[in-house]
Amino acid sequence: MDDESGDVAAEIFGKPDPIFEQKSLVDVDHVPQPERIVGRDDEIRALSMQLRSAIDGGSPENVVIYGETGTGKSLVAKHVSKVAESMAEDVRIGTAYIDCSDDDTETQAVSHIARKLNNEDQTGVSVPEMGLSKSVYYTRLYSILDELYDVALIILDEADMQADDGLLMSLSRSRETGKTDCRVGVIAISNKVRWAENLNDRVKSSLQPRELNFHSYDANQLRSILEHRRDAFRGGVLEDGVIQLSAALAAQDHGDARQAIDILRNAGMLAQQQDSETVTEKHVRGARREAEKDRFHDLIGGLTIQKKTTLAAVTTLHKQTGRDEFPTGEIYTAYTNLCQVIGVEPRTERRVRDFVRNLAFLDVLDARKENQGRAGGITIYAGLQPAHDLEIVHEIAMTDDRFADVDDSETTVSK
Ligand SMILES: Nc1ncnc2c1ncn2[C@@H]1O[C@H](COP(=O)(O)OP(=O)(O)OP(=O)(O)O)[C@@H](O)[C@H]1O
Ligand SMILES: [Mg+2]
């Protein structure tokens, strides 16, 4: 390294961050302090009511929390159980949080719950991370519960990732079957709305869960969530309208708080990269665009060249005709034209129809069938899902090197 580049690094490290004051407040894994949790009072109230009797040593209800991604399910469940734990006076409440996407087998989950609740100095029970059988882990969990707690609140996040119903079955019947005197309340969280309906009848009847549905946030709620993280940035750095726009864009998509926070954070990063002294609405739009690109890149970046060409045929038709859907015959013509330009052997029309179905399955395209009357049979129409950004999908569909020389305004695909 020469001296000069050493100086550049030292210069950057030596100066305070011009944009962020406390960047961690908008980090992905940041857990906000209670006073920064806003817009979920009804849900916090509802969950607290279901757990209320635990404070007096009674049995908490079992609860299933549903809702789309980023609606505060994990946050609220952790927050409320923590408050319950800290407010109980004569009752010993223990809480354990596990994420079933990490602990997807029953044995792993029980082992993890037992470790979370254990205090080996007091119980003398050791819970190794692995190596014991499921039933031994259960026995240790029950003796920990008996030894240390009157009530245990067990949060199973992403509960639908558990391989089967065994864990729910055992936890919900643990007292009734005489395994422990501790009153166990389960809070199961899922973003699959039908998940609990499909549980086996015996589990349902012993769990008897109360259901709480977390709705997506509206723009106002997202706005106050972001306002409460404003101090991530230095004073005066956020231009007027930046928080409002970030909230509005996220509300337009899914009402996902994680996405809203991400947009604001990335807008700040973009401003930083561009050496801008303030974060502007333009940075917000740029950040949203980058996020959309990443999302589509994950979704379609790895598709085969055949499927990408099919998608590129649809997006090129959109761009060139301005229409919003096309019969698969027209898509096929565009596809074969594109194949010719990039030197890829075209597949049959039937295969391309399968590609279209697959892209619809991935929620990239919208496809619908139309009956063409007595003699005509069925025609499938497809187009990009209206919520998607045409330019972004088009750009990612055409990322393969083979598209490098294609001028999409000149290559006529529709004839
Ligand atoms: N009401 C809120 N106030 C402040 N921050 C919030 C609020 N709701 C969500 N957040 C923040 O948004 C992010 C997503 O929230 P959370 O993880 O609770 O969502 P989730 O519903 O569990 O989503 P998923 O289904 O994807 O697990 C977190 O960083 C969280 O801190
Ligand atoms: Mg969650």
Which pLDDT tens digit goes with each residue over 101-126? 999 999 999 999 999 999 999 999 99
Give the burial class of 35: count Cβ atoms within 10 A of its Cβ; 0-12 exposed, 13-18 middle, 19 or more buried: exposed
> Does pLDDT of 412 surpass 70?
no
H or E stretch covering 247: helix 242-253
Rounded CA-CA distance 346/336 in Å is 6
| Ranges for all domains in the chain classified under CATH 3.40.50.300 | 40-214
111 marked as binding residue? no
| Ranges for all domains in the chain classified under CATH 1.10.8.60 | 3-21+218-299
The verdict on the CB of residue 225 being under 6 Å from ligand 1 is yes
| Ranges for all domains in the chain classified under CATH 1.10.10.10 | 301-403
**Could you identify the residue written with the tokens 């643990």?**
174
The verdict on the CB of residue 255 being under 6 Å from ligand 1 is no
The verdict on the CB of residue 215 being under 6 Å from ligand 1 is no
Quote the ligand 2 centre to 350 CA distance (angstroms). 41
Alpha-carbon Rg for the chain, nearest whole angstrom, is: 27
Nearest ligand to the CA atom of 218: 1
Rounded CA-CA distance 398/387 in Å is 20
- Residue 251 tokens, joined: 């509300």
Nearest ligand to the CA atom of 35: 1
153 marked as binding residue? no
Task: List the one residue out of 261, 219, 210 whose CA is nearest residue 70.
Answer: 261
**Could you identify the residue written with the tokens 């980023």?**
70
Fold of the domain built from segment(s) 40-214:
Rossmann fold (3.40.50)
Fold of the domain built from segment(s) 3-21+218-299:
Helicase, Ruva Protein; domain 3 (1.10.8)
DSSP letter assigned to residue 231: G
pLDDT tens string 203-232: 999 899 999 999 999 999 999 999 999 999
Q: Which atom of ligand 1 is nearest to the CA of 221?
A: 1
The verdict on the CB of residue 79 being under 6 Å from ligand 1 is no
Greatest alpha-carbon pair distance for the chain in Å reads: 81
- Residue scoring higher pLDDT (227 or 198): 227
Task: For residue 377, name the pLDDT band (cuts at 50, 70, 90).
Answer: confident
CATH architecture of 301-403: Orthogonal Bundle (1.10)
Beta strands in 56-160 (DSSP E): 63-67, 93-99, 151-157
Task: List the one residue out of 246, 95, 89 whose CA is nearest residue 157.
Answer: 95
Task: List the one residue out of 23, 36, 24 whose CA is nearest residue 268.
Answer: 23
Quote the ligand 1 centre to 389 CA distance (angstroms). 25
